[in-house]
Structures are given as structure tokens and as C-alpha cells.
């Protein structure tokens, strides 16, 4: 029994060590470092995450911020209990989320947009930061239907300050109703810390509240 116990401990230690060994992938001028402390994480899902990164990140960099980080780190972390979080060029993911939602690969798209955004402190309102990231997920996502993810139906109780998909829907409405390119301009202003509430009138001729009123009156997209 003692020998078996020692062998078992050695095996578990080896598995744990293997799970934490970072892997490095390079493509299209960008580097992805993949760290994982979950020995049971699905390798097929890992492959999809890597493929999604190299499919969307170079495009987002080209469309929004060519000075974005050239190296990004993904960290599958069993200690993290949210869905995902981004700080600088590092994104931490909760493996339990992916076990429960294996089709939600465009969490990657949303989070890498946060790397591209790189607004720092004081860039602008948080609701717009998350709204832009979900707009990008909507426009650039590789498999939103696989996650049963879509922009929500408009409801009168909604506000542009609700963030995420609700704000993303509003941004999409603006883009297709005479304000093409406004998301890129808002993103740029946030990153350069030149965002002010007056930017909406500067770009469209209307205040954000006036735009929302027009949207609420005819929210079809």
C-alpha cells in the first residue's frame, strides 16, 4: 500500500506540473502564451481558444489599435471564480465556466478586445468599455450561435448605461443608422483619454440621450 501511495503522489505531482507548464504559440506576428493549472482542461477546447485568438486578435489590432500588445497570455486558473478577466496583456479564464458552457468560445473574442482597448484608468465610462467589447464580439465572433449568444431584444427599461449586450445593440444601431465608424472613433477617444460626453454630439450632431430616444422610438436592427 505504501508503494502504491508513493507512486500515486508522484503521478499527481507530475500531472500538476505538466498542467502548469506554459506553452508558446506564434503566428501572424503575434505570440500567445498559454498557461493552465487544470490538468483536466479539455485539449480540444484549448485548441479552439488558440485558433480563435489568432483568427480575431490580428484583425482587431488592425481595425482598432495597431499598437496593441504583440504578446498575450491566457491563463486557465482553477482559483478564479468569475468567467474571465483581463489585465494588461493577461487574460485569466475559469475552467469551470467552459465545462458548463463549452460552446462559449467567443469569451475569447470579448476578452482579447479588452487587451486591444487598453484604456487604462480614466479612459471613459465602464459601460462603454464593456459595450464596445460586446459589440466586437457580435461583429467579429467566430461562433456566437454555438453559445446561443445574441444581442437582446430592445426593452423600454433598457439604458445605454446597462453595458455589455444592451449597449452593444445600441452601438450597432448607431453604426447602421448613419453613424458608420462611430465605434472605432469612440474606442480611439477612450484610449487617448480624450473621451467626453460631448463626443456624441460632436460625432453625430445629437447628445447621447437624444440618440437613445431616437433608438428607443425605432430600435430595429
Q: What is the mean pLDDT of residues 24-33?
A: 97
What pairing do the DSSP bridges indicate for beta strands 90-93 and 71-76?
Answer: parallel
Structure confidence at residue 109 as a pLDDT band (50, 70, 90)? very high
Q: In the predicted model, is pLDDT for residue 7 greater than 70?
A: no
pLDDT tens per residue, range 173-210? 999 999 999 999 999 999 999 999 999 999 999 999 99
d(CA 128, CA 186): 9
pLDDT score of 220? 86
Q: In the predicted model, is pLDDT for residue 5 greater than 60?
A: no
Q: What is the mean pLDDT of residues 101-108?
A: 96
Structure confidence at residue 12 as a pLDDT band (50, 70, 90)? very low
Q: What is the mean pLDDT of residues 95-100?
A: 95
Q: What is the mean pLDDT of residues 27-48?
A: 96
**Percentage with pLDDT > 90 across the chain:** 88
Which domains, ranges and CATH numbers included, belong to the chain? 18-118 (1.10.390.10), 124-221 (no CATH)
Give the residue from 57, 178, 174 showing the smallest Cα distance to 186: 174
First to last CA, the chain: 67
**Mean pLDDT of the residues in the chain:** 92
Looking at the DSSP bridge assignments, the partners of residue 74 are 34, 91
pLDDT score of 48? 97
pLDDT tens per residue, range 116-171? 999 998 899 999 999 999 999 999 999 999 999 999 999 999 999 999 999 999 99
pLDDT score of 19? 54
pLDDT score of 221? 78
Q: What is the mean pLDDT of residues 59-66?
A: 98
Q: In the predicted model, is pLDDT for residue 16 greater than 60?
A: no
Q: In the predicted model, is pLDDT for residue 211 greater than 80?
A: yes
Amino acid at each position: 500500500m505504501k508503494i502504491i501511495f508513493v507512486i500515486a503522489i508522484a503521478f499527481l505531482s507530475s500531472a500538476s506540473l505538466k498542467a502548469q507548464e506554459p506553452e508558446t504559440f506564434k503566428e501572424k506576428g503575434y505570440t500567445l502564451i498559454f498557461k493552465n493549472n487544470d490538468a483536466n482542461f479539455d485539449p480540444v477546447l484549448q485548441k479552439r481558444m488558440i485558433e480563435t485568438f489568432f483568427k480575431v486578435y490580428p484583425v482587431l489590432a488592425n481595425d482598432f489599435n495597431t499598437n496593441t500588445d504583440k504578446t498575450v497570455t491566457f491563463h486557465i486558473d482553477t482559483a478564479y471564480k468569475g468567467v474571465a478577466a483581463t489585465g494588461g496583456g493577461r487574460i485569466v479564464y475559469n475552467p469551470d465556466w467552459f465545462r458548463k458552457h463549452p460552446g462559449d468560445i467567443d469569451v475569447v473574442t470579448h476578452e482579447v478586445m479588452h487587451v486591444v482597448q487598453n484604456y487604462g484608468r480614466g479612459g471613459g465610462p465602464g459601460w462603454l468599455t464593456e459595450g464596445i467589447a460586446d459589440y466586437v464580439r457580435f461583429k467579429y465572433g467566430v461562433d456566437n450561435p454555438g453559445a446561443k449568444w445574441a444581442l437582446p431584444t430592445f426593452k423600454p427599461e433598457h439604458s445605454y448605461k446597462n453595458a455589455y449586450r444592451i449597449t452593444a445593440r445600441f452601438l450597432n444601431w448607431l453604426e447602421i443608422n448613419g453613424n458608420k465608424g462611430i465605434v472605432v472613433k469612440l474606442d480611439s477617444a477612450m484610449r487617448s483619454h480624450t473621451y467626453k460626453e460631448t463626443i456624441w454630439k460632436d460625432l453625430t450632431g445629437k447628445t447621447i440621450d437624444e440618440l437613445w430616444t431616437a433608438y428607443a422610438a425605432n430600435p430595429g436592427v
